[in-house]
Structure 1
Amino acid sequence: MPSNPGIMASPRALEQPLSHYNDYPSIAHLVQKLSDNNIQTIFAITEEFQPVYKELKNLIPKSAVGTLSANSSNVINLIIDAYNSLSSEVILENSKLAEGVTITYQSRCKNGVTGEGEMGRKCSNISIGDEVSFTISITAKQCPKMGKPETIKIKPLGFTEEVEIALNFICECDCHKNGIEDSEICHNGNGTFECGACRCNEGRIGRHCECSTNEVTSEDLDKNCRKDNGTDICSNNGDCVCGTCECKKRENPEERYSGKFCECDNFNCDRSNNKLCGGHGRCECRVCICDANWTGSACDCSLDTTTCLASNKQICNGRGTCECGTCKCTDPKFQGPTCEICPTCPGVCAEHKECVQCRAFGTGEKKETCERDCSYFNLIKVKDRDKLPQPGQAFPLMHCKERDANDCWFYYTYAVNNNTEKEVHVVETLDCPAGPDIIPIVAGVVAGIVLIGLALLLIWKLLMIIHDRREFAKFEKEKMNAKWDTVRVDSRQYQAAIFEKFNGDDVFLPV
């Protein structure tokens, strides 16, 4: 990880004690000192100064610009975001090169993305655990003064680790003494073959001295071997021979560079399942040319729609699109491999009720035509409801509960599996209501009648007792209120009085 990420507070903090004592350092000097000290710069500035610092960011590698709020309340989040952005990018840099020495980079980043030239120095969008590789080519066009060894240091910006390369120049060889003049190897004697290479005679150039300087200049040679001014000679994948690129050979004979500028190859195409072009195409100039019925950048998308055909022979049941051999249901209510399952739609259970009933139990309206009309699904019987498939186990399904003509319930599930086959799991036993128990019912009715009769007798007896007590109390009261005259009266008058007293009722009087 970067060793010294931080906010750039003041450029003076990076100055040497005596250098640039009275002035700020130049941007080039600033970049050099930041690199030497492995510092990644985060400019936290307000929005009004954003354009200026964004231009400065382009000049300082591994730097970031964040918008600081007026009260600086977002400074922590700003540093975190900027640090994550900086740490996701790897940029290589090298120390100063000796005169005549050039260095080129070729990167292979995440997901097979490659870069050359200046783009070959860096890889972006890198996460922890990702692996990137860089191919570095160093060319010496001349021997340094005094022929002393040179050292090149290469490291990723912001990191302390570095690679040190020692260059030892062989400027003179003992084999010069044994050179073969006018060798046939050097294009019919146009040079001296020494130390395994041709040293061309005056007026001849090329690897084998096959070109004349009168026909083409050195500048023309390089120009003819570049695709444009921003690319390397022969895309750094070959050698320029007389203005024509000769592509390098690979260790694997199946892998090769091609193209006028060696800009193409047949091994850097997208992969699927760890296979080049998914095993369904060929790689040409870093682009997959797919076989018939295959498409996609890695030829991993099948154009065959047979796997998307529903039972009605429509693609995705007319409610979706077939993409790479798989249905993408456009109607959110439908699901399943062919968009035929609709858990929220009414009538799914009722639609298959008669066929399930006739095949599982041999009953129902379709009993006579069951074999002809109801063979479109696979029937699987289970012992009880707990053995029925549950939602989410494999593929979308519908739980159903239906009743037959005898008021018996039967339970089943309907689903379309991943092979577009319809499956019905049904509980093999019917759930029928039990018949009434006559003896308890009769006993209950008889007991109820007896209890009601006893209750009525008790009520009648209670009312009679109350009535008798009231009459007796009334009689006692009349008896207490009766007034008898002590005068002797005639018996007939007495009887008449008594008769009148009791309203003509028969009364027996003592004589």
Structure 2
Amino acid sequence: MVDKSTVLVFLLVLCGGESELDTKITSSEKATEWGDTDLPRTGSCQPAPSCQKCILSHPSCAWCKQLNFTASGEAEARRCARREELLARGCPEQELEEPRGHQEVLQDKPLSQGDRGEGATQLAPQRIRVTLRPGEPQKFRVRFLRAAGYPVDLYYLMDLSYSMKDDLERVRQLGHALLVRLQEVTHSVRIGFGSFVDKTVLPFVSTVPSKLHHPCPSRLERCQPPFSFHHVLSLTGDAQAFEREVGRQNVSGNLDSPEGGFDAILQAALCQDYPSVGQIAQALTAANIQPIFAVTSPTLPVYQELSQLIPKSAVGELSEDSGNVVQLIMDAYDSLSSTVTLEHSSLPPGANISFESHCRGSEKREGEAGDRGQCSNIRVNQTVDFWVTLQVTQCLPEPHLLRLWALGFSEELTVELHTLCDCNCSDTQPHAPHCSDGQGDLQCGICSCAPGRLGQLCECSEAELSSPDLESGCRAPNGTGPLCSGKGRCQCGRCSCNGQSSGRLCECDDASCERHEGILCGGFGHCQCGVCHCHTNRTGRACECSENVDGCVSPEGGFCSGHGHCRCNRCQCQDGYYGALCDQCLGCKSPCEQYRDCAECAAFGTGPLAANCSVACADVNVTLALVPNLDDGWCKERTLDSQLFFFLVENVAGGVTLRVRPHEKGADHTRAIILGCIGGIVAVGLGLVLAYRLSVEIYDRREYSRFEKEKQQLSWKQDSNPLYKSAITTTINPRFQGTNAPGPSL
């Protein structure tokens, strides 16, 4: 008997009726070449010689295009800095060049609800333009609505090896039942049919001619030669055509292996053979096909692991006679259509993408970023959101079209991806008067000198560089030391400083200021000649202190609870005090301990301060209060005569007020309660002992009475011993001379 391991593959497409499954992909998209220049990435904005290089160096960089913005000796590269620093140095807001990425929705048809079928809109928006500045991410939202009645194309791919002989008749009756069940969820259904046996080449099957010609066990059976894949019926809504074509099929030999099924899947999608699992997954994704593997129990674990490698695939256990095929397909259809997986096409070099799925009550993946978006258990007419983040690290030479789509659905979102890699300076002037009367072009506030001209304003020629008079302007008054302090170069009699140096002779280092938490001037000011110039409301050598004092104000008023002073919006506590507001101290008494004696002497005239209560407690105001409920803020104390009382310490302007609540007087039953408890315990113990002795006495009397009764019932002769037993052994002494004398008995 042949060991049967059945594999059926149903290829499911939610295609909107726009394309047939048996349409093959015969061409690929043309590859696009991209630039390969990586942009420098540093931890913060650094000076740059031009506006273009400035905005590409770091996403936090801005450029000041104001004329004459840089000071004497300062390099034009100092125009590139963080926005806050440029504003603090006097650059007007309107002279800042700080291009930012942006996005624009080009097409956004509203999502459809209800049973719209083929005309439903499930993915929005449909087209969007995103402009990215390198290093700066852009985030946009994609919405998906699971519509009811979406069209379905089902291609039934069947194994026709000999082990499927008893299943073939069942499949012949499948067409009508399957269409009826699918029409319950959608009005547009098409079904197709294909078959496979095995790849008829070594090493997958035996190539003996007689075996290939008639591979079935019996010569009397109708049996066709093995084949890799046959396309039998294109997608159609005619159930009778499905039953008719399936009825014409015959089984082949039982020579199948997993390679035969994989080959058939790939041929159904691309007319290509010899596939790997990776090729199958890629081809099914590109063709928008969702495979459903129906397998019997022996091969179920293998295909469950395979399904994890193929996106949007399902696996079901097939009964021995394929009787549960319709229900298996319906269950898999519901599982696949209720799972939304957002995929994307290939990205250009230097670009990356991430997704955050917001599933709204279904199986959530809130805030979880990854290379795809996914939500499961989506109900009909339920909307889910995917937040897509795009970022590039280099400029693209031309726009790139990026496609996003939900696996298994034909709709897609097209993203026009542009990069922002240059400044949009409106002050560009060729031969500008500002550049030494036309000796250069003005762009973004700096001069680009004509050939042979040098200087920030193109004020001198190359022939003048060797003039001693010009070099004297770049040296110290005594004529000693290197040109421009060795931190710049001499141009046209003036120093052009390098990097963070400034001053007429580049004598200042604008990177040597104090740092706070590793940041120059704490990030709250700019460094000029070794000194931090802080922003408004900031102070300190590194601008580390805020002039705000809100963090030092105590709840009752005043600063730092009166036990410290405010510095950098933080309390600096006196010795012995600690806490954010210096409201705690080491070795200090608690309020209850501190005011206990005053409360007792003022309210009851007792305690250690009773003799001079008015003097010792002059700053304390004591009032008696009857409060029905006491909270945790009340202090519980006891007087000298063991009376309980409660008091509350209230700090008010001008002193301390104590609200004293005497304990309600009444009989003190503490001693009686204690004695009563002890007496009760003793009484219970004595009772238990007496009960035990009484039970023992009763038991003994009963036993004695029974003994007496049994004694009276016994009767025997007074001369016989009731314990006597007759002898059981007799011994004869052979030496005994008597003729009839018996021997001793035992």
Output the TM-score relative to the length of structure 1. 0.33
Q: Who wins on radius of gyration, i.e. which is larger?
A: 1
Output the TM-score relative to the length of structure 2. 0.23
